[in-house]
Amino acid sequence: MKKRNLFVIALLLAAVALASATPKYNWKLASVLPDSHPVHQALVFFADELAKKSNGDIKLTLFPAGQLGQEKDYIEAIKIGSLEFAKVSSGPVGQYAPTFQVISLPLIWRNLAHQHKVLQGVVGKRLMADLDKAGYKGLAFMDAGFRSITATKPIYSPSDLKGLKIRVMQSKPLIDTVNALGGNAVPMGQSEVYSALQTKVIDGWENNEPTVLSFNMQEVAKYYSYTRHSSIPDFLMMNKRLFDGLPKNIQAMVEQTAIEAMEKHNKLWGEMIDKTIADLKAKGMVFNEVRDVTEFQKAVGGVWKEFESIVGKDLIDAVVNTK
């Protein structure tokens, strides 16, 4: 009898231990970026910190490198609740919350310090509120540097882009920007770009240096021309119904940890740029500055005007006038 009682007690203890080890919240986070990218390192930090702060109640499983599809798929999955979290570019978010498109306007950012001040200030709060109305919970903006043209030939002036097919994200400001500069914008998912360049379906794409290196694009498009035509931060978002249904302490934990992940990422980003450029040069990438940036500014002037009726001239002015 004693043996049986001891066996029952052991089973009960094992059940209690198993129950305590089972997370209360089991969530997924998707990203198109590979695990070598600094954004992914920040997402690992986000997941680890949530697990630590919640004493194991939160388990966030990461799916990098486009395992769950493309960014458009993530945004739609977040809306219907089949995905809890995603790291996406701010660019495609503008399809769902129109004011977000102000972020993607060409040459609107003076530098990353200007962007930080805007997006972590009053304008950023307004954009988050607009996204909330669209049915999403925004958590944090993460640096993605400045986007420039990577192509099979160097770009020195807008005339060099004439007739070139340039891949862009599904973002109207980006599409309009590349077209205004003389190229032919081709919206395409990130995972398709390498083979499209390899098979000459496109002639180039536009992105930042770490993303070029992460996807080894220097193998299929060796010229990196510093057009710096836009700077579109990455964005961490989650399902709004999920967030609204969480206890207040868990909501606060998620929000605060997202800010900490953003700060960690922005620091990592700044530290790795010089090394990334050196690595790309060692792999054969050729860098060049454009001859006259005012040519590019003149070419895209109409894009701002076009978007005044979409995002509001007051919002554009608020971004530009932030010192």
| pLDDT tens, residue by residue, 201-242 | 999 999 999 999 999 999 999 999 999 999 999 999 999 999
Cα of 274 vs its chain's centroid, Å: 20
pLDDT band at residue 59 using 50, 70 and 90 as cut-offs: very high
Sole residue written with tokens 């998707």: 30
For the chain, percent helix, then strand, then coil, each to nearest 5? 55, 20, 30
Helix (H, G, I), strand (E, B) or coil at 144: coil
Contact 105, 173 (CB under 8 A): yes
pLDDT of residue 16: 46
Closest CA to 168 of 153, 182, 146, 147: 147
pLDDT band at residue 6 using 50, 70 and 90 as cut-offs: low
pLDDT of residue 18: 42
| pLDDT tens, residue by residue, 141-177 | 999 999 999 999 999 999 999 999 999 998 999 999 9
Closest CA to 265 of 9, 75, 4, 49: 49
The token pair that represents 24 in the structure block = 């209360």
User: What CA–CA distance (Å, rounded) separates 271 from 276?
Assistant: 9
User: What CA–CA distance (Å, rounded) separates 13 from 19?
Assistant: 10
Query: Lowest-pLDDT range, 5-9, 21-25, 259-263?
Result: 5-9
Non-local (6+) Cβ contacts of 98 within 8 A are: 130, 310, 311
Helix (H, G, I), strand (E, B) or coil at 61: strand
pLDDT of residue 303: 96
pLDDT of residue 15: 46
Whether pTM > 0.85 for this model: the answer is yes
Query: What is the rounded average pLDDT for all residues in the chain?
Result: 93
For residue 54, is pLDDT > 60? yes
For the segment 78-107, the average pLDDT, to the nearest whole number, is 96
Non-local (6+) Cβ contacts of 256 within 8 A are: none
User: What CA–CA distance (Å, rounded) separates 172 from 94?
Assistant: 8
pLDDT band at residue 19 using 50, 70 and 90 as cut-offs: very low
Sole residue written with tokens 């390899």: 198
| pLDDT tens, residue by residue, 244-294 | 999 999 999 999 999 999 999 999 999 989 999 999 999 999 999 999 999
For residue 5, is pLDDT > 90? no
b/e 167-196 (16+ beta carbons within 10 angstroms → b):
bbbbbbbbbbbbbbbbbebbebbbeebbeb
The token pair that represents 63 in the structure block = 């799916």
Q: How many CB atoms lie within 10 A of CB 199?
A: 9
pLDDT of residue 12: 52
The token pair that represents 85 in the structure block = 């979290």
172 or 19, which is more confident: 172
pLDDT of residue 36: 86
Structural domains of the chain in order of their starting residue, each with its CATH number: 19-143+233-275 (3.40.190.170), 147-231+277-320 (3.40.190.170)
pLDDT of residue 3: 55
pLDDT of residue 38: 87
Helix (H, G, I), strand (E, B) or coil at 219: helix
Which conformational region is residue 246 in: left (phi greater than 0), alpha (psi within -120 to 50 degrees), or beta?
beta
Non-local (6+) Cβ contacts of 321 within 8 A are: none
